[in-house]
Amino acid sequence: MALFLQLAQNGAIIGLLYGLFAYGMSLIISTTGVLHFAHGFTLVGAAYTFWWLYQGHGIHPVLAAVVALAAAAAIGVVIELGVYRPLRRRNAGGMVFLVASLAVLTLGQNLLVLLFGTDPKPTPPSAFMSWTVHAGPLVIRTFDVLVVAASLGAFAGLYLLQTRTAVGLSFRAVGDNPERAETLGIRLQRTYVWVFVAGSVVAALPAVLLAVQNPVTPSMGFDLLVKAVIALVIGGVGSMPGALLGGVLIGLVESLAVYKLPTQWAEFTLFAVLFLFVVVRPNGLSRNALRSA
Protein backbone atom coordinates (compact mmCIF):
# COMPACT_ATOMS: atom_id res chain seq x y z
CA MET A 1 0.00 0.00 0.00
CA ALA A 2 2.80 2.39 0.92
CA LEU A 3 4.43 1.57 -2.39
CA PHE A 4 1.16 2.22 -4.20
CA LEU A 5 0.79 5.62 -2.51
CA GLN A 6 4.37 6.51 -3.26
CA LEU A 7 3.86 5.55 -6.90
CA ALA A 8 0.65 7.55 -7.03
CA GLN A 9 2.43 10.57 -5.59
CA ASN A 10 5.26 10.25 -8.10
CA GLY A 11 2.73 9.84 -10.88
CA ALA A 12 0.78 12.91 -9.87
CA ILE A 13 3.94 15.02 -9.59
CA ILE A 14 5.39 13.91 -12.91
CA GLY A 15 1.92 14.34 -14.40
CA LEU A 16 1.80 17.94 -13.23
CA LEU A 17 5.17 18.39 -14.91
CA TYR A 18 3.80 16.92 -18.16
CA GLY A 19 0.87 19.28 -17.86
CA LEU A 20 3.22 22.22 -17.30
CA PHE A 21 5.01 21.33 -20.52
CA ALA A 22 1.74 20.76 -22.37
CA TYR A 23 0.28 24.21 -21.49
CA GLY A 24 2.48 25.93 -24.03
CA MET A 25 1.57 23.45 -26.77
CA SER A 26 -2.08 23.84 -25.88
CA LEU A 27 -1.86 27.62 -26.04
CA ILE A 28 0.01 27.50 -29.35
CA ILE A 29 -2.29 25.01 -31.06
CA SER A 30 -5.45 26.79 -29.96
CA THR A 31 -4.17 30.10 -31.34
CA THR A 32 -2.17 29.10 -34.41
CA GLY A 33 -3.56 25.63 -35.19
CA VAL A 34 -0.02 24.21 -35.22
CA LEU A 35 0.77 21.08 -33.24
CA HIS A 36 4.12 22.42 -32.08
CA PHE A 37 6.38 19.35 -31.88
CA ALA A 38 9.40 21.64 -31.76
CA HIS A 39 8.26 22.64 -28.27
CA GLY A 40 10.39 19.66 -27.23
CA PHE A 41 13.46 21.48 -28.49
CA THR A 42 12.43 24.66 -26.66
CA LEU A 43 12.54 22.58 -23.48
CA VAL A 44 15.98 21.00 -24.12
CA GLY A 45 17.33 24.33 -25.27
CA ALA A 46 16.26 25.96 -22.01
CA ALA A 47 17.54 23.01 -19.95
CA TYR A 48 20.98 23.12 -21.60
CA THR A 49 21.14 26.89 -21.19
CA PHE A 50 20.45 26.49 -17.49
CA TRP A 51 22.97 23.66 -17.10
CA TRP A 52 25.64 25.48 -19.09
CA LEU A 53 25.34 28.64 -17.01
CA TYR A 54 24.85 27.01 -13.61
CA GLN A 55 27.20 24.04 -13.81
CA GLY A 56 29.57 25.29 -16.46
CA HIS A 57 29.99 28.90 -15.42
CA GLY A 58 28.94 28.95 -11.78
CA ILE A 59 26.14 31.45 -12.34
CA HIS A 60 23.60 31.63 -9.50
CA PRO A 61 20.79 29.13 -10.29
CA VAL A 62 18.04 31.76 -10.04
CA LEU A 63 19.83 33.99 -12.53
CA ALA A 64 20.52 30.98 -14.75
CA ALA A 65 16.83 30.08 -14.63
CA VAL A 66 15.87 33.60 -15.70
CA VAL A 67 18.25 33.38 -18.65
CA ALA A 68 16.76 29.97 -19.49
CA LEU A 69 13.30 31.58 -19.61
CA ALA A 70 14.60 34.16 -22.05
CA ALA A 71 16.34 31.47 -24.11
CA ALA A 72 13.10 29.49 -24.37
CA ALA A 73 11.22 32.56 -25.55
CA ALA A 74 13.93 33.27 -28.10
CA ILE A 75 13.84 29.70 -29.45
CA GLY A 76 10.06 29.85 -29.79
CA VAL A 77 10.18 33.17 -31.63
CA VAL A 78 12.96 32.01 -33.95
CA ILE A 79 10.94 28.92 -34.90
CA GLU A 80 7.84 31.03 -35.54
CA LEU A 81 9.71 33.59 -37.65
CA GLY A 82 12.09 31.21 -39.37
CA VAL A 83 9.82 28.25 -40.07
CA TYR A 84 6.13 28.74 -39.45
CA ARG A 85 5.78 32.24 -40.85
CA PRO A 86 7.32 31.39 -44.25
CA LEU A 87 5.15 28.26 -44.42
CA ARG A 88 2.04 30.27 -43.54
CA ARG A 89 2.91 32.82 -46.20
CA ARG A 90 3.12 29.99 -48.73
CA ASN A 91 -0.25 28.67 -47.57
CA ALA A 92 1.29 25.30 -46.76
CA GLY A 93 -0.99 22.49 -45.57
CA GLY A 94 -1.27 21.37 -41.97
CA MET A 95 0.89 18.31 -42.52
CA VAL A 96 3.78 20.45 -43.76
CA PHE A 97 3.76 22.38 -40.49
CA LEU A 98 3.85 19.12 -38.55
CA VAL A 99 6.74 17.72 -40.56
CA ALA A 100 8.67 20.98 -40.30
CA SER A 101 8.07 21.10 -36.57
CA LEU A 102 9.32 17.56 -36.16
CA ALA A 103 12.37 18.40 -38.28
CA VAL A 104 13.18 21.37 -36.03
CA LEU A 105 13.00 19.09 -33.01
CA THR A 106 15.36 16.44 -34.43
CA LEU A 107 17.65 19.12 -35.83
CA GLY A 108 18.00 20.78 -32.45
CA GLN A 109 18.37 17.52 -30.60
CA ASN A 110 21.17 16.34 -32.89
CA LEU A 111 22.85 19.73 -32.70
CA LEU A 112 23.02 19.40 -28.91
CA VAL A 113 24.55 15.93 -29.28
CA LEU A 114 27.20 17.37 -31.60
CA LEU A 115 27.91 20.23 -29.19
CA PHE A 116 27.76 18.44 -25.85
CA GLY A 117 27.66 14.68 -26.52
CA THR A 118 25.00 12.19 -25.49
CA ASP A 119 26.17 11.73 -21.89
CA PRO A 120 23.77 13.03 -19.21
CA LYS A 121 24.73 16.39 -17.71
CA PRO A 122 24.08 16.61 -13.96
CA THR A 123 23.82 19.88 -12.07
CA PRO A 124 25.51 20.18 -8.65
CA PRO A 125 23.49 18.86 -5.70
CA SER A 126 22.31 21.59 -3.35
CA ALA A 127 21.04 21.64 0.23
CA PHE A 128 17.93 23.43 -1.00
CA MET A 129 16.95 20.59 -3.32
CA SER A 130 17.74 17.81 -0.84
CA TRP A 131 15.20 18.99 1.76
CA THR A 132 12.50 16.43 2.49
CA VAL A 133 9.57 16.06 4.84
CA HIS A 134 7.71 12.86 5.77
CA ALA A 135 3.94 12.89 5.66
CA GLY A 136 2.67 9.47 6.72
CA PRO A 137 3.98 6.96 4.16
CA LEU A 138 4.88 9.73 1.71
CA VAL A 139 8.13 11.57 1.36
CA ILE A 140 7.78 15.07 0.00
CA ARG A 141 10.82 16.64 -1.64
CA THR A 142 11.60 20.22 -2.62
CA PHE A 143 11.16 19.09 -6.23
CA ASP A 144 7.58 17.99 -5.54
CA VAL A 145 6.69 21.31 -3.93
CA LEU A 146 8.30 23.27 -6.76
CA VAL A 147 6.51 21.24 -9.45
CA VAL A 148 3.11 21.68 -7.80
CA ALA A 149 3.71 25.40 -7.36
CA ALA A 150 5.03 25.93 -10.88
CA SER A 151 2.35 23.86 -12.58
CA LEU A 152 -0.62 25.33 -10.75
CA GLY A 153 0.96 28.80 -10.80
CA ALA A 154 1.52 28.68 -14.55
CA PHE A 155 -2.00 27.37 -15.04
CA ALA A 156 -3.46 30.29 -13.08
CA GLY A 157 -1.13 32.74 -14.81
CA LEU A 158 -2.11 31.56 -18.28
CA TYR A 159 -5.78 31.61 -17.31
CA LEU A 160 -5.49 35.22 -16.19
CA LEU A 161 -3.48 36.08 -19.29
CA GLN A 162 -6.19 34.73 -21.56
CA THR A 163 -9.11 36.28 -19.70
CA ARG A 164 -7.78 39.58 -18.33
CA THR A 165 -5.18 40.95 -20.70
CA ALA A 166 -5.54 42.43 -24.16
CA VAL A 167 -2.81 40.25 -25.62
CA GLY A 168 -4.31 37.11 -24.09
CA LEU A 169 -7.75 37.96 -25.44
CA SER A 170 -6.24 38.50 -28.86
CA PHE A 171 -4.83 34.94 -28.69
CA ARG A 172 -8.34 33.62 -28.26
CA ALA A 173 -9.81 35.88 -30.93
CA VAL A 174 -7.19 34.80 -33.47
CA GLY A 175 -7.65 31.15 -32.52
CA ASP A 176 -11.38 31.48 -33.00
CA ASN A 177 -11.35 33.23 -36.36
CA PRO A 178 -8.14 34.77 -37.70
CA GLU A 179 -9.82 36.65 -40.57
CA ARG A 180 -12.41 38.26 -38.37
CA ALA A 181 -9.83 39.05 -35.69
CA GLU A 182 -7.79 40.83 -38.33
CA THR A 183 -10.74 42.94 -39.43
CA LEU A 184 -11.16 43.95 -35.79
CA GLY A 185 -7.67 45.42 -35.90
CA ILE A 186 -5.74 42.59 -34.30
CA ARG A 187 -2.34 42.23 -35.94
CA LEU A 188 -2.06 38.55 -36.78
CA GLN A 189 1.69 38.24 -37.22
CA ARG A 190 2.36 40.07 -33.98
CA THR A 191 -0.17 37.92 -32.12
CA TYR A 192 1.53 34.77 -33.42
CA VAL A 193 4.90 36.02 -32.16
CA TRP A 194 3.47 36.79 -28.74
CA VAL A 195 1.77 33.43 -28.41
CA PHE A 196 5.11 31.75 -29.12
CA VAL A 197 6.75 33.94 -26.49
CA ALA A 198 4.12 33.08 -23.89
CA GLY A 199 3.96 29.37 -24.75
CA SER A 200 7.72 28.95 -24.89
CA VAL A 201 8.50 30.79 -21.66
CA VAL A 202 6.30 28.32 -19.82
CA ALA A 203 8.35 25.42 -21.30
CA ALA A 204 11.43 26.75 -19.49
CA LEU A 205 9.82 25.97 -16.12
CA PRO A 206 9.78 22.16 -16.53
CA ALA A 207 13.21 22.48 -18.19
CA VAL A 208 14.78 24.09 -15.14
CA LEU A 209 12.90 21.84 -12.70
CA LEU A 210 14.09 18.73 -14.51
CA ALA A 211 17.62 20.09 -14.79
CA VAL A 212 18.01 20.58 -11.05
CA GLN A 213 16.48 17.19 -10.25
CA ASN A 214 17.89 14.89 -12.96
CA PRO A 215 20.81 15.06 -15.38
CA VAL A 216 20.06 16.84 -18.65
CA THR A 217 20.04 14.80 -21.89
CA PRO A 218 19.41 15.79 -25.52
CA SER A 219 16.48 13.36 -25.79
CA MET A 220 14.55 14.67 -22.76
CA GLY A 221 12.58 17.03 -25.00
CA PHE A 222 11.30 14.26 -27.23
CA ASP A 223 10.39 12.05 -24.25
CA LEU A 224 8.38 14.84 -22.68
CA LEU A 225 6.85 15.74 -26.03
CA VAL A 226 5.36 12.27 -26.47
CA LYS A 227 3.79 12.49 -23.00
CA ALA A 228 2.51 16.00 -23.59
CA VAL A 229 0.93 15.13 -26.94
CA ILE A 230 -0.85 12.14 -25.38
CA ALA A 231 -1.95 14.38 -22.49
CA LEU A 232 -3.37 16.89 -24.95
CA VAL A 233 -5.46 14.27 -26.73
CA ILE A 234 -6.72 12.75 -23.49
CA GLY A 235 -7.56 16.14 -22.03
CA GLY A 236 -9.04 17.56 -25.22
CA VAL A 237 -6.74 19.34 -27.66
CA GLY A 238 -6.62 23.10 -27.16
CA SER A 239 -8.10 23.08 -23.69
CA MET A 240 -5.88 24.32 -20.85
CA PRO A 241 -7.69 22.43 -18.06
CA GLY A 242 -7.57 19.42 -20.39
CA ALA A 243 -3.78 19.70 -20.63
CA LEU A 244 -3.51 19.73 -16.83
CA LEU A 245 -5.96 16.87 -16.37
CA GLY A 246 -4.52 14.79 -19.20
CA GLY A 247 -0.99 15.34 -17.89
CA VAL A 248 -1.86 14.15 -14.40
CA LEU A 249 -3.82 11.20 -15.77
CA ILE A 250 -0.96 9.88 -17.90
CA GLY A 251 1.52 10.59 -15.11
CA LEU A 252 -0.59 8.32 -12.89
CA VAL A 253 -1.06 5.67 -15.58
CA GLU A 254 2.63 5.55 -16.37
CA SER A 255 3.61 5.39 -12.71
CA LEU A 256 0.93 2.93 -11.55
CA ALA A 257 1.34 0.65 -14.58
CA VAL A 258 4.68 -0.33 -13.08
CA TYR A 259 2.86 -1.46 -9.92
CA LYS A 260 1.45 -4.47 -11.78
CA LEU A 261 3.35 -4.69 -15.06
CA PRO A 262 7.04 -5.03 -15.87
CA THR A 263 8.60 -1.58 -16.35
CA GLN A 264 9.12 -1.92 -20.11
CA TRP A 265 5.37 -1.86 -20.63
CA ALA A 266 4.99 1.71 -19.27
CA GLU A 267 5.34 3.35 -22.70
CA PHE A 268 3.13 0.81 -24.37
CA THR A 269 0.46 1.25 -21.69
CA LEU A 270 0.41 4.94 -22.53
CA PHE A 271 -0.05 4.10 -26.18
CA ALA A 272 -2.88 1.74 -25.25
CA VAL A 273 -4.60 4.41 -23.16
CA LEU A 274 -4.24 6.90 -26.00
CA PHE A 275 -5.62 4.36 -28.48
CA LEU A 276 -8.60 3.76 -26.22
CA PHE A 277 -9.28 7.47 -25.89
CA VAL A 278 -9.08 8.06 -29.62
CA VAL A 279 -11.55 5.24 -30.20
CA VAL A 280 -13.97 5.93 -27.38
CA ARG A 281 -13.65 9.60 -26.64
CA PRO A 282 -11.71 11.34 -29.41
CA ASN A 283 -12.68 14.76 -28.11
CA GLY A 284 -10.92 14.07 -24.85
CA LEU A 285 -12.16 14.82 -21.38
CA SER A 286 -13.13 18.37 -22.25
CA ARG A 287 -14.05 20.57 -25.17
CA ASN A 288 -11.96 20.09 -28.28
CA ALA A 289 -10.56 23.08 -30.11
CA LEU A 290 -8.49 21.21 -32.68
CA ARG A 291 -9.31 22.50 -36.09
CA SER A 292 -8.76 20.21 -39.01
CA ALA A 293 -5.21 20.63 -40.14
Partner 1 sequence: MSFYLSNLVALLAIFVILGMSFNLLMGNAGLFSIAHGAFFGLGAYTTGLLMRDHGWGFVPAVLASCALCAVVSTALGAAARRVTDVYLVILTLAFQVGAIEVIRNSETTGGAGGLVGIPRPDIFGAVLVTPVQVAALAVVLCLLVAAVLRAVVRSPFGRTLAALREDELAARSLGKATPIAKIKVFAVSSALAGVAGALFAVQVRYISTADFGLDRSIEILSLTIIGGLAVWWGPFVGAAVVLLVPEALTYLALPDTLVGAIKGFAFSLLLLAFLLFRPQGIAGRRRRKAGPPAPEAAPVVPRPREAADAPPPPVEGSGGRVLRCEDVSIGFGGLKAVDGVTLTLRPGSITGLVGPNGAGKTTLFNLLSGLLEPDTGRVYYGDRDVTRSSLDSRARRGIVRSFQEMRLFDGMTVRQNLLLSLTPKRDERLLTVGVLLGGRHAAERARAARADEMLSYLGIAHQADTLAGDLSYAEQKLLMMGRLLATRADCYLLDEPMSGLDDAGRERILTLLRDTVAQGATICLVEHSLDVIRKVCSWVVFLADGKLVKEGPTDEITGDRELAAMYFGS
**Residue 22 and residue 39 in contact, taking contact as beta carbons nearer than 8 Å:** no
Q: Smaller CB distance to partner 1: residue 229 or 249?
A: 229
Between 102 and 169, CB nearer to partner 1: 102
Quick one: which segment of 19-27, 59-67, 109-117, 207-215 binds partner 1 (CB under 8 A)? 109-117
Residue 233 CB, shortest distance to partner 1, in Å, is 6
CA-based nearest residue to 12, from 208, 152, 131, 129: 152
18 binds partner 1 (CB under 8 A): no
**Is 270 among the residues that bind partner 1 (CB under 8 A)?**
yes
What does the alpha-carbon distance between residue 216 and residue 224 come to, in Å, rounded to a whole number?
13
DSSP codes of every residue in 67-105:
HHHHHHHHHHHHHIIIIIHHHHHTT--HHHHHHHHHHHH
Cα–Cα distances (Å) from 139 to 151, 211, 252, in that order, read 19, 21, 17
Q: Does 90 bind partner 1 (CB under 8 A)?
A: yes
Tell me how crowded residue 102 is: count the other CB atoms within 10 A of its CB: 16
Residues 2, 95, 127, 166: which binds partner 1 (CB under 8 A)? 95
Is residue 275 a contact residue for partner 1 (CB under 8 A)?
yes
The nearer residue to partner 1, 95 or 166, going by C-beta atoms, is 95
Buried b / exposed e across 104-126, counting CB within 10 Å, b at 16+? bbeebbeebeeebeeeebebeee
117 binding partner 1? (CB under 8 A): yes
Q: Per rule CB under 8 A, is residue 258 in the interface with partner 1?
A: no
Question: Closest separation between CB of residue 145 and partner 1, Å?
Answer: 30
- The 3-state DSSP class for residue 43 equals helix
Residue 274 binds to partner 1 (criterion: CB under 8 A): yes
Is residue 106 close enough to count as binding partner 1 by CB under 8 A?
A: yes
Query: Which of 44, 230, 240, 244: binder of partner 1 (CB under 8 A)?
Result: 230
Q: Which of 66, 99, 140, 152 binds partner 1 (CB under 8 A)?
A: 99
Contact between 224 and partner 1 per CB under 8 A: no
Q: Which stretch binds partner 1 (CB under 8 A): 19-27, 110-118, 173-181, 192-200?
A: 110-118
- The nearest distance, CB 114 to partner 1, in angstroms, is 5
Q: Is the alpha carbon torsion for 230, 219, 20, 143 positive or negative?
A: positive
DSSP 3-state of 55 = helix
- Applying the rule CB under 8 A, the residues between 159 and 218 that interact with partner 1 are none
Instruction: Point out which residues bind partner 1 (CB under 8 A).
Output: 35, 83, 86-87, 90, 92-96, 98-100, 102-104, 106-107, 109-111, 113-114, 117-118, 222, 226, 229-230, 233, 237, 262-268, 270-272, 274-275, 278-279, 282, 290-293
